[in-house]
Structure 1
Amino acid sequence: MGDGPLTQVQLIQSLVDVVNTIGLKGDYIKSHKKECAALTRRVKLLAPLFEELRESRQKISSRAFSALRDLEEALQSANKLLQKCHDGSKLYLVLEREAVAEEFDIANADFEKSLDILPYDQFASDEVKEQVDLVRSQLKRAKGRVDNHDLQVYSSLLAVLREKDDGPAGLEMLERLAEKLDLRSPAAIRLENRALQEMMLVKQNLGDDNHEQELRFQQLFTVLRKLTSILPPEDTDDDSPELDRVNIAAGVFIPKTAKHQSEVRAGVGLERRGSQTFDVEGAGAEKLRSQAVPDDFKCPISLDLMKDPVIVATGQTYERACIQRWLDSGRRNCPKTGVLLSHVGLTPNYSLRSVIAQWCETNGIEVPKTSSSKPKQSKVPEYSAGERATVEHLLQKLRSGQADMQRAAAGELRLLAKRNVENRVCIAEAGAIPLLIELLSSQDLKTQEHAVTALLNLSINDSNKGIIVNSGAINPIVEVLKNGSKEARENAAATLFSLSVVDENKVTIGNLGAIPALVDLLKDGTARGKKDAATALFNLSIYQGNKARAVRAGVVPPLMGLLRDPSAGMVDEALAILAILSTHQDGRVAIGQASALPVLVDLLKSGSPRNKENAAAVTLALATYDPMHLETAYKLGAQGPLHALVSDGTVRAKRKAAQLLEHMRLQHESAIPLTSSED
């Protein structure tokens, strides 16, 4: 935290950061899984408390500051423990089961103590107070619990360590252990070997180099070698030197001398630098930490979450930087399909980018940033002198001041910009954008329509987005959205959606009053107009400040109307927007007042997997805001579909459903009568 005195702002930001860090760790190993999940869940429940503190900027008392400092230290310790369980050797953590369990007891006790002395009633809202109370009640019941699964895994490991026979009985024990710890592939064995070596070095650095530790690591490397030997032949990666390292690692002892220690460290360092496999597995370990990321959100080349997804000629989507490196190396085929690309233009996948942004928002992950200041453009063929001359001729018509010539020229530019990426670059570089913006104020509705649609087509290029916004287009586009023709209003909404893909543009568009006009289009537009308005509102609402604007503009009632009318074909869009709005206090109030729970419970029962996930998210947000909503959901029979979601829902749906069921159980135990319609 630095050498100077810690400020309130720094302390609160540190609390927000550590909660976010813990929330991003993803799945844990098979051992201590319940303890890790429970501690993570309790920490994440405190996120609204710290977010409220950060947003309110309220000056807190010295007593509260001291208690928050203690809480921050407790959370940092919890983070270190969770990191060890996330990245550490599975075999070692199982063998040290009792010591790790004791560490969890200490972490929970420190967590509980710091919350007990925190005067959160001085600055927390009522719903956040209830959430902190929930965490405290869970912590009081968390002491001394033993997980049966952990005992079974521990027993399996002890059986393998004691078994001297390599016959069928020993093989069966190995296979059982491999299944329980998910060590059934070369990749998993490589990761475990690396984790075990790193844990061994940590113990060395701490001075824990006694004979008992030495023997323990020798035994675990022997187990790892045996697990390698039972891999099916078809799964063995013959080209991987890492498997050979596992086999020889059984003979590795903790060195007794400083010289030997330095040699081992140097050897490990050279191994990582010299082996491509180790480098890949380093990246693989990072991906394991975020394995909850849906596959559709990962770049097929890097397998990382995409920040700037683009579409190539075959229709496949990649991270822009990855596919650009692929193309820059001289390759002209699609990496995933192998098909030769008809052209090398890259088209931004705005829809996927927005869905990724929503997923990040709802999972507490920092939304990937894009910038309009220095956009990266794909390399495209140069446009010809003839094409530039055509564009210049059309721009002269735009400058002519004659209405019919302006209308015709805007129409031609609209078509040219739609045709290909070269034309979009050429038109923008010729200076057409400011001229088209001027035409947005034309009294001729057709000219206005051509101009806004031309801007929409030009905005497909990321570099053009910044030019359009910086040229003052937002206000005129909003005016077209309010007063233009049917098609012009639709395309104005689509243009705002396209521009809002850039994060700073979300702020600008919201500040300049676009959201009420989009809500009006959502209410009274055509089917296509409503779709365009919904996609724009969805994207804009990712920015926290726009959520309250959307609620104040009255977005919730029309969204509920679309949710209750499947024939409109916009259930997906409406529910996705409600899921974003439910993360804001004003949104929860408005959704609760709109009597949303009956339709949400219906969607939990019969919606698509994605809609079930979003319905669970909205229901959880309402339930944590007001216990009466929890009671209503219970009476409507939500617990049945929630149990089903825990079993076979998406990763996020499982988490939300489990939290809702836990809230229902606690409320039921607290003597508040709950009566289910299924009884």
Structure 2
Amino acid sequence: MDQDVGANPKAILNILSFSTFYFSDRRSLIGVMAGGIVSPASLLDLISDIVDIPLNAGVFKKDCADLTRRVSLLTHLVEEIRDSTPIDSAASSSSDNDWWSDLVVGVQAAKRLLSTARFQARDSSDGAAKRISFQFQCVTWKLEKALSNLPYDLFDISDEVGEQVELARSQLRRAMQRYGSLNSNNFSSALSEPMDRDGFSNIVKIKAEEKLESVSETLQFAEEEEKQDSPPLRRSSSISLAYYLSKDADTDRLDKMVTKNTDESKKSDKLTIPVDFLCPVSLELMKDPVIVATGQTYERAYIQRWIDCGNLTCPKTQQKLENFTLTPNYVLRSLISRWCTEHNIEQPAGYINGRTKNRGDMSVIRALVQRLSSRSTEDRRNAVSEIRSLSKRSTDNRILIAEAGAIPVLVNLLTSEDVATQENAITCVLNLSIYENNKELIMFAGAVTSIVQVLRAGTMEARENAAATLFSLSLADENKIIIGGSGAIPALVDLLENGTPRGKKDAATALFNLCIYQGNKGRAVRAGIVTALVKMLSDSSSHRMVDEALTILSVLASNLDAKSAIVKANTLPALINILQTDQTRNRENAAAILLSLCKRDTEKLITIGRLGAVVPLMNLSNKGTERGKRKAMSLLELLRKACQ
């Protein structure tokens, strides 16, 4: 049957006719939106109103300006949605419409918030400031959620507008890291309530209750850790807090510990420390609160210990940590400091500017940095080796090393003729770049040119770490442009083709991130990335990287030059083969690439039909994820129309 289908367009049409039930009862997404509460035209008016709101001159001036700028970036997106119909309106589902509802709610809440925050005086109460800060948190979360679910394939959205949307998303994600993310549905109600209602206090109460519920869990974890004579070996993410929680809690000890904390609070002017000021792990007043990737806040020392023990999840939410960056929560630290001052409580000693105050460590690091400039090659080699070891251990060390002035000196050592020195120097820069604030210092030191030089001519280990460093630095959107224009992309493509398995993965990761920026896609195509990726699609070795190749191709497929190069490389048969035989994730990416390549191209649609795309697409539309089903159904509908 498969052979007949691949050879006969009429057979394709007959099979596709059986799948029309997927589409016959679906409504146009634009129709749904126009018939809802807010149409695209009305939303444009709302965005215009937000842009016209006078700037805040009080404590939330920066927050208001940032939010206004992010909302204004959505203007062209809504205009294109207003002026076009969905490419495949029949294939839209209720989940495709949810993003619009989230966007409308987020923009409405943004207007309400900006109008209120504008009148916030500098001498307002802490309670009022907290309420407004919480609203900024809610609006940011809602807008980011909406944009993350935007069904690009249902609209004729230009590359330029898509790039603006991604820029807005990246800015919202960074703002979420600063504010903290929201993981409970209870917070959603805050978006629909006026700023002066009592509902806010109820939400805060719910949030506090949720934190209190985690106390027994975190105490049990702390108890188990105390029983260990030495730090535990690195564990997999599945053997983390969930392992400890599976045991029976020592309720007697828990009660004693809670009672002890209560007694201590009574001794201190009979005050109860606000629950938000306590570390969920230690239940102690936080000295250096930091935010992890899930948006939860912990005491730096305790969460760093948790990570150093090999745990890959957030202790409270059990979500996988996408990265191990610890972002200082300056707002909470300021509130804790103010609270301690107001109640005559001595602030926890030992921390200055968000890090451990250890003059001994700092003096050692400064001595090492001075040795980096020694005339002795051996001395420089030993110093950079020690700094490499220190920079690998903790965030505190990365902060101290940067503050000791090591970054410019390390950048100079990237061009060292001594192989060991160069390898250790690039690894140091990589380790230091993990801390967000160091990225800017590395860029200011002019490191990119030297990193690219290492990528081109260093040892294989140095080239691998150079690629990983470029990926780390490119996480900041503005750095994607600088790195792309530095000549890094051809060097990364060369590593992708000729590197070790680890080097290829480092290169693929960096190239994927750089190609998110539209201007770098053409550079990658001219560097020959498509040829390298197509070879990877047919790789059958134990180190095959089909997943990575498909992911990069799916990003490139929105570029006209990339589309042409992909087709010229005879990629369609390889994509159909993956669609028929590979794992679900790869099949979905193959379908997404085919949809981008064949959209508005009847000849290519007929070609993939003859190659046997119909049956695997129908299987994917039945058994894939929501994304996979959507891509498959859109492509099936285009195939049906092409064969009519």
Q: TM-score, normalised by structure 1?
A: 0.49
What residue in structure 2 maps to residue 603 of structure 1? 578
Q: 1:640 aligns with which of 610, 615, 635?
A: 615
What residue in structure 1 maps to residue 551 of structure 2? 576
What residue in structure 2 maps to residue 505 of structure 1? 479
| Letter paired with 1:343 | Y
CA-CA distance at 1:530 after TM superposition: 0.8
CA-CA distance at 1:389 after TM superposition: 1.7
What residue in structure 2 maps to residue 558 of structure 1? 532
The 3 A distance-change label for structure 1 pair 519 and 376 is: farther
Q: Which residues in structure 2 correspond to 1:58-137 (within 5 Å)?
A: 72=82
| Letter paired with 2:26 | K
1:401 is paired with a residue of what secondary structure?
coil
The 3 A distance-change label for structure 1 pair 625 and 437 is: farther
Cα distance per residue 1:159-195 (max 9 Å; x no partner): xxxxxxxxxxxxxxxxxxxxxxxxxxxx99xx9xx9x
CA-CA distance at 1:613 after TM superposition: 1.5
The 3 A distance-change label for structure 1 pair 41 and 610 is: farther
CA distance in 1, matches of 2:83, 2:515: 34
Note the residue ranges of structure 1 that are not aligned, 5 or more in a row: 1-31, 43-67, 88-127, 133-186, 199-264, 281-311, 318-324, 353-369, 670-679
2:356 is paired with a residue of what secondary structure?
coil
CA-CA distance at 1:626 after TM superposition: 3.5
1:34 is paired with a residue of what secondary structure?
coil
What residue in structure 2 maps to residue 331 of structure 1? 280
CA distance in 2, matches of 1:612, 1:332: 42
Q: Does structure 1 residue 343 correspond to structure 2 residue 302?
A: yes
Q: Does structure 1 residue 664 correspond to structure 2 residue 623?
A: no
2:424 is paired with a residue of what secondary structure?
helix
| Letter paired with 1:544 | Q
What residue in structure 2 maps to residue 445 of structure 1? 419
2:516 is paired with a residue of what secondary structure?
coil
The 3 A distance-change label for structure 1 pair 627 and 85 is: closer
The 3 A distance-change label for structure 1 pair 385 and 336 is: closer
1:387 is paired with a residue of what secondary structure?
helix
CA distance in 2, matches of 1:37, 1:493: 42
What residue in structure 2 maps to residue 675 of structure 1? none
Report sequence identity in percent: 41
What residue in structure 2 maps to residue 236 of structure 1? none
Does the Cα contact within 8 Å between 1:411 and 1:450 map onto a contact in 2? yes
CA distance in 2, matches of 1:276, 1:589: 53
The 3 A distance-change label for structure 1 pair 330 and 452 is: same
1:629 is paired with a residue of what secondary structure?
helix
Does 1 or 2 have the higher relative contact order (CA < 8 Å, sep 6+)?
A: 2
| Letter paired with 1:555 | I
CA distance in 1, matches of 2:298, 2:449: 44
Q: 2:26 aligns with which of 34, 59, 77?
A: 34
Q: Which residues in structure 2 correspond to 1:451-466 (within 5 Å)?
A: 451-466=425-440
The 3 A distance-change label for structure 1 pair 460 and 33 is: farther
CA-CA distance at 1:607 after TM superposition: 2.1
CA-CA distance at 1:490 after TM superposition: 0.7
What residue in structure 1 maps to residue 71 of structure 2? none
Q: Which residues in structure 2 correspond to 1:172-321 (within 5 Å)?
A: 276=203
Does the Cα contact within 8 Å between 1:383 and 1:423 map onto a contact in 2? no
What residue in structure 1 maps to residue 360 of structure 2? 386
What residue in structure 1 maps to residue 591 of structure 2? 616
CA-CA distance at 1:428 after TM superposition: 0.7
The 3 A distance-change label for structure 1 pair 385 and 511 is: same
| Letter paired with 2:457 | N
Cα distance per residue 1:545-570 (max 9 Å; x no partner): 11111111100111111111031321
CA distance in 2, matches of 1:438, 1:272: 57
What residue in structure 2 maps to residue 514 of structure 1? 488
CA distance in 2, matches of 1:594, 1:511: 26
Q: Does structure 1 residue 650 correspond to structure 2 residue 599?
A: no
What residue in structure 2 maps to residue 365 of structure 1? none
CA distance in 1, matches of 2:420, 2:385: 9
Cα distance per residue 1:318-351 (max 9 Å; x no partner): xxxxxxx9985432179999999982239899x9
CA distance in 1, matches of 2:279, 2:533: 48
Note the residue ranges of structure 2 that are not aligned, 5 or more in a row: 1-23, 35-77, 90-96, 103-152, 158-183, 208-233, 241-273, 283-291, 314-324, 334-350
What residue in structure 2 maps to residue 495 of structure 1? 469
Q: TM-score, normalised by structure 2?
A: 0.52
CA distance in 2, matches of 1:634, 1:373: 54
| Letter paired with 2:469 | T
Does the Cα contact within 8 Å between 1:521 and 1:533 map onto a contact in 2? yes
